């Protein structure tokens, strides 16, 4: 099969899966089999594309031309390849997890859940393989819309309210700011294709570049740069598998991925540094890193704490993009994958605690670690990777991000990065520590609580092992990320 077909197949498979899921709504076992089957298929297809991918000849597929000169185009390049690999692998693992979780938790409307989940992943792959800004925007909006029912899943007032915030901020920023930025870009450059070195250099007055760049950075609400971060905590009303895959991996990474794409292929790193477009924006990202970490410290709800941690970690990637040097871009791209594996482990653990012990607040989790050793063991590994300690994958991305700051002489930002690492320790490590060594608030021991369902444990184990593996063998992601850094 030709590469073009594989590319289209990888995007279409989740949609076909969604149709299958809806058709088999009366038979839950078969329905879940369809989810697993399409997740496996997508994973195999994306890995195959990766094996064949050599970056020498970029290949593109044009689907349609809705506006003169603006095509719906897909293409494979390193950054998209990296994102697609992460998303498709983690969809498979999350599907295993979700089946155990949703059944144990006796959630309603599971057909809708699995179908929308598949559509969301299809849209994510569409973003990863988008060949120009307009195609990316199309899938970006589709991702927002398809995840809305997942956030509103519970259907009660709290869920509706959370989903409203979610949608309001994501659609609001994308229509109000991102679309405007895209239109201005098109008006100035006459094209929206992703090109090495950017399309704006020499066409946009450098004085305006900072403003346009700001429209992009804030317009991409999915990157959750403050003050447009409120949607992510609001989305935590969703079932945990959604928070795990979509709000730690697919949706948020789609945001920072778009930021990286815009930085590298629309502005071009040289244009950003020469025009000073990033001068003041880096402080927004820096402030987000610190503030979100500080807010995370005071959250007692575990998922909320993880959500604010995600906001903070996303700004690492945004910062890497804004610095626009080869090393910082390498760090940013690596962080997409490293943070994905670590944060999904943490969310899996949070969901397992909810399912097995029915606890959401950290203050109630004292002593729980002895009843659920695997869950909290995985949580510990995930935390250490987020903090960026060896021997866990999270170290590499932080290393290169830090290197990037040293290269550009941004000492203040480097201290922000280090302070944030300390804050990570302060808000993550007490959770497993209290669980293993602390006592329950009322002094009783948790002898009635057992571990989460096996499928949840399997998923958690795989992702936490991946965190370790990525320290010793980060090569696939590293090589892809190196390509982006401008060796091409």
Partner 1 sequence: MIEQNLCLLLVVIPLIAAPVTAMLPAGRTPWFFTLTITWLCFVLSIWQLTIVLDGSTISYELGGWAPPWGIEYHIDALNAFVTLIVSGIAAITLPYALRTVENEIQRRDTSLFYAVFLLCFVGLLGIAQTGDVFNLFVFLEISSLSSYVLIGMGQRRRALTAAYQYLIMGSIGATFLLIGIGLIYAETGTLNMQDLHQRLQPILDHRTVHTGFIFLVVGIALKLALFPLHLWLPNAYKYAPSAISVFLSATATKVAVYVMLRIVFTVFSIDFLKITSTEFIFLMLGAFGVLVASTGAIFHYDIKRILAYSSIAQVSYMVLGMGFASTLGVTATVVHMFNHALMKGALFMAAGAIVLRIGSSKFENIYGIGRQMPWTFAAIFIAGLSLIGIPGTAGFISKWYFMLAALEQQAWLIALVILFGSLLSVVYMWKIFEALFFHRPTNTSPPVSEAPLSLLLPMWTLVLANIYFGINTDLTVSVAETAVRLLGITAYHE
Residue numbers at the binding site for partner 1 (CB under 8 A): 64, 66-68, 72, 134, 137-138, 141-142, 145, 152, 155, 159-160, 163-164, 167-168, 171-172, 175-176, 179-180, 183-184, 186-187
Peptide bond into 227 cis (omega under 30): yes
φ/ψ region of 486 (left if φ > 0, alpha if ψ in -120 to 50, else beta) reads left
User: Measured from the CB atom, is 22 or 458 closer to partner 1?
Assistant: 22
Structural contact between residues 393 and 385, judged by C-beta atoms closer than 8 angstroms:
yes
Give me the least distance between CB of 142 and partner 1, in Å please: 7
Stretch (H or E) spanning 71: strand 70-75
Q: What is the DSSP letter of 199?
A: S
3-state helix, strand, coil in the chain (%, to 5): 75, 5, 20
Residue 248 or 262: the one with the smaller Cβ distance to partner 1 is 262
- Decide whether 105 or 164 has the Cβ nearer to partner 1: 164
Q: What are phi and psi of 140, to 5 degrees?
A: -60, -45
CB of 141 to partner 1, least distance (A): 5
Nearer residue to partner 1 within complex by CB, 180 or 429 = 180
Closer to partner 1 at the Cβ: 61 or 384? 61
H or E segment at 471? helix 454-472
Q: How far, CA to CA in Å, does 367 sit from each of 195, 353, 380?
A: 54, 12, 15
In the beta sheet, which residues pair with residue 132? 193
Give the helix ranges, DSSP H, for 152-195: 157-173, 179-189
Q: Which is nearer to partner 1, 52 or 161 (CB)?
A: 161
Distance in Å, CB of 65 to partner 1, minimum: 8
Distance CA 363, CA 60 (A): 52
Q: In angstroms, what CA-CA distances link 202 with 188, 209, 486?
A: 10, 11, 20
CB 277 to partner 1: min, Å: 20
Shortest Cβ 334–partner 1 spacing (Å): 30
Q: Tokens for 232?
A: 């992510």
In terms of CB distance, is 71 or 303 closer to partner 1?
Answer: 71
Shortest Å, Cβ 152 to partner 1: 5
Kindly give the residue spans of alpha helices, DSSP state H, lying in 3-109: 3-23, 28-52, 78-104
User: What is the nearest approach in angstroms of partner 1 to the Cβ of residue 155?
Assistant: 6
SS3 30: helix
CB 217 within 8 A of CB 284: yes
For partner 1, give the closer residue by CB, 71 or 305: 71
Closest CB to partner 1 among residues 161, 488: 161
Smallest gap from Cβ 181 to partner 1, in A, equals 11
Cα distance between residue 476 and residue 471, in whole Å: 12
The answer to whether residues 374 and 461 touch, using CB atoms and an 8 Å cutoff, is: yes
Closest approach of Cβ 201 to partner 1, in Å? 20
With tokens 């099969």, the residue in question is 1
């Amino acid at each position: 099969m030709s590469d073009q077909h594989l590319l289209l197949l990888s995007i279409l498979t989740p949609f076909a899966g969604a149709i299958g899921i809806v058709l088999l709504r009366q038979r839950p076992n078969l329905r879940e089999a369809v989810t697993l089957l399409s997740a496996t298929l997508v994973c195999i297809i994306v890995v195959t594309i990766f094996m064949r991918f050599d970056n020498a000849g970029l290949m593109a597929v044009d689907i349609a031309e809705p506006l003169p000169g603006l095509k719906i185009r897909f293409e494979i390049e390193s950054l998209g390849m990296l994102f697609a690999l992460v998303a498709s692998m983690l969809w498979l693992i999350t599907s295993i997890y979700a089946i155990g979780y949703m059944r144990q938790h006796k959630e309603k409307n599971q057909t809708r859940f699995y179908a929308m989940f598949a559509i969301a992943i299809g849209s994510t792959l569409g973003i990863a393989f988008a060949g120009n800004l307009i195609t990316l925007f199309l899938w970006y909006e589709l991702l927002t819309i398809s995840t809305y029912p997942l956030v509103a899943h519970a259907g009660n007032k709290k869920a509706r309210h959370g989903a409203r915030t979610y949608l309001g901020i994501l659609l609001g920023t994308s229509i109000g700011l991102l679309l405007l930025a895209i239109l201005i870009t098109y008006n100035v450059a006459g094209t929206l294709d992703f090109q090495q070195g950017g399309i704006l250099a020499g066409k946009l007055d450098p004085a305006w570049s900072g403003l346009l760049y700001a429209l992009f950075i804030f317009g991409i609400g999915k990157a959750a740069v403050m003050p447009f971060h409120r949607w992510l905590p609001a989305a935590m009303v969703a079932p945990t598998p959604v928070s795990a895959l979509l709000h730690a991996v697919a949706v948020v990474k789609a945001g920072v991925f778009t930021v990286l794409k815009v930085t590298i292929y629309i502005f071009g790193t040289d244009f950003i540094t020469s025009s000073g477009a990033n001068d003041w924006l880096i402080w927004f990202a820096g402030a987000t890193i610190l503030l979100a970490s500080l807010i995370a410290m005071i959250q007692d709800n575990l998922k909320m704490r993880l959500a604010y941690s995600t906001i903070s970690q996303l700004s690492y990637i945004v910062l890497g993009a804004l610095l626009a040097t080869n090393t910082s871009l390498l760090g940013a791209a690596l962080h997409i994958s490293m943070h994905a594996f670590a944060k999904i482990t943490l969310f899996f653990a949070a969901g397992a605690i909810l399912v097995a012990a029915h606890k959401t607040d950290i203050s109630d989790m004292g002593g729980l670690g002895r009843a659920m050793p695997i869950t909290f063991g995985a949580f510990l590994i995930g935390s250490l990777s987020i903090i960026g300690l060896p021997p866990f994958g999270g170290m590499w991305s932080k290393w290169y991000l830090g290197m990037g700051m040293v290269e550009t002489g941004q000492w203040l930002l480097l201290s922000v990065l280090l302070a944030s690492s300390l804050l990570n320790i302060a808000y993550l490590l007490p959770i497993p520590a209290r669980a293993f060594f602390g006592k329950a608030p009322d002094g009783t021991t948790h002898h009635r609580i057992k571990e989460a369902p096996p499928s949840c444990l399997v998923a958690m184990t795989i992702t936490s092992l991946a965190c370790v593996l990525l320290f010793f063998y980060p090569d696939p992601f590293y090589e892809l990320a190196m390509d982006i850094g401008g060796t091409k």
